[in-house]
Amino acid sequence: MNAMATTDLHYLGLVEVGQQIQRKKLSPVEVTKAVLERIGQLDGKLKSYAHVMADAALAAAAAAEKEIASGKIKGPLHGVPIAIKDLCWVKSAPAAHGMTIHRDFRPSEDATVVARLKDAGAVILGKLQQTEGAYADHHPQIDPPKNPWNADLWSGASSSGSGVATAAGLCFGSLGTDTGGSIRFPSAANGITGLKPTWGRVSRYGAFELAATLDHIGPMARSAVDCGAMLSVVAGQDPKDTTSVPLPVPDYLAGLSGDLRGVTIGVDRRWTSEGTDEAASKVLAEGLRVAADLGAKIRDITFPDPKAVIEDWFPLCGIEVAVAHEATYPARKDEYGPALAGLLDLGRQQSGMDYQKIVLRREAFRGAVRLLFETVDLIAVPAQAFAAPTLAKMAALGEDASLIAGLLRFTCPFDMTGSPTVTLPGGFAANGGPVAFQFVGRHFEEASLVRAGDAFQRVTDWHKRHPGI
């Protein structure tokens, strides 16, 4: 499908629609009704929602309208319809985690990130579809979300519903999670912006685990500014998650200058080009050119060899997933799909010595990446080595080691380090699918990623292009 420029309500930016709502130029009830109507028209085909919460959304929109009318404005998300990846608990709503085992689960409380969004006045439209257990494939009994640009293209994993719904104008922003690349893959595949925060920046309380020390919850929206607005709300220490870090949360929308003067961006030209296809390489090169035009200094660096940590990601993830699923696996193995079951079996096969070796290699790699940030402010990398993959290509993932390595090459190293990244749409492949690149930042410097993404998006329009649906 061809990219379309539009000013339709459903494609307004999250911050922009919030401003119009809060200035009483738009009604949150009417906006919510319009998006729910669009979901009704399109999602039968796109399959992005696991559960639509129409009544609750309209009630929240009506409450927001009353609050705004009385002059009580809670911030940029007040009255804005958004959606939540299914693994994050919303009180009394289904939270299946992409699995049949949990299809009847209704949490008795909100996840911390959901509670914070509600406190900020956001209107929650519903729960978004995801892969089984937030791993690689959708459960065999679940119809996967369809890429709105082209149904033959991959929609990403595991936050596929978040990517599809945000790209198709079925919400103004969404929450995703990233353990090996699952904010970045669907952001790239669907042509939206995704912000993976530093591990520990956002509470994981009330979210089903895939792998505890690798899981990151973060915003997915249509611009870096919109992601920054969402992150300002959900980030911060949470006593219910003692791994959340007690650092102040900045206003990520403050002080955005539109330029990159004083910013040094590192790039390992060998690592980012070897085995990377033409479309992915071209988008990264163009991103660097724009950054230089905006005042950034581009510096050649040598990135530490990530081969070992990419290989280690699988058994480490498997070990942590085995802990998360201990109550149901292998006791209910016949209810699991083959991909998640295979990962669980891999994890359960590891010894204590295997695990310790992985931990030591991970810490060494994390330290080497930290040293790089003593000389640069950001690192630029592709989103993945091959751009806009088809479903047919991804069907061979389990049989092609080079395909798996290319998929994870520029994502899972930054889950192993816990580094923050922003994924920015930067072009299209020959098959019409969106292509993206990433900036990676220092721990807890998400503000630098919002600044860089905003500067890039002020002078480009890739993020303003939408699928012709």
Catalytic residue among 47, 85, 146, 196: 85
Q: Kindly state whether residues 243 and 176 are assigned to the same domain.
A: yes
- Asked, for residue 5, whether it belongs to a domain, the answer is no
165 band by pLDDT with thresholds 50, 70 and 90: very high
The number of domains in the chain is 2
Do 219 and 273 reside in the same domain of the chain? yes
> What percentage of the chain exceeds 90 in pLDDT?
96
Among the candidates 356, 379, 394, a domain finishes at 356
Does the annotation mark 159 as catalytic? Answer: no
Boundaries of domain holding 62: 15-307+357-467
Catalytic residue among 27, 48, 155, 158: 158
The verdict on 72 and 158 lying in the same domain is yes
Are 370 and 421 in a shared domain? yes
Does 145 fall in a domain? Answer: yes
Domain contains 297: yes
Co-location of 72 and 23 in the same domain = yes
Residues 272 and 321 in one domain: no
**Which among 356, 377, 394 is the end of a domain?**
356
Query: Does residue 127 carry a catalytic annotation?
Result: no
Q: Is 182 considered catalytic here?
A: yes
Do 234 and 351 lie in a common domain?
A: no
- The answer to whether residue 7 is domain-embedded is no
Residue 399 has pLDDT above 80, yes or no: no
The answer to whether residue 4 scores a pLDDT higher than 50 is no
Rounded to whole angstroms, the maximal C-alpha distance in the chain is 62
In a domain, 224, yes or no: yes
Q: In whole angstroms, what is the distance from residue 385 CA to residue 280 CA?
A: 6
What is the pTM for the complete model shown? 0.97
Q: pLDDT value at position 396? A: 80
Q: Are residues 232 and 332 in the same domain?
A: no
- Residue 205 falls within a domain, yes or no? yes
Active-site residue (options: 160, 174, 182, 203): 182
* Mean residue pLDDT across the chain: 96
Residues 219 and 280 in one domain: yes
Taking only the tens place, the pLDDT of each residue in 77-127 is: 999 999 999 999 999 999 999 999 999 999 999 999 999 999 999 999 999
- What span, in angstroms and rounded, lies between the C-alpha atoms of 14 and 195? 15
Last residue of a domain, which of 356, 383, 413?
Answer: 356
Residues 228 and 335 in one domain: no
Predicted local confidence at residue 1, as pLDDT:
34
Residues 301 and 315 in one domain: no
**What integer pLDDT is reported at residue 2 of this predicted model?**
38
Q: CATH number of the domain at 384, please.
A: 3.90.1300.10
* Whether pLDDT at 6 is above 50: no
| pLDDT band at 205; cut points 50, 70, 90 | very high
331 and 366: one domain?
no
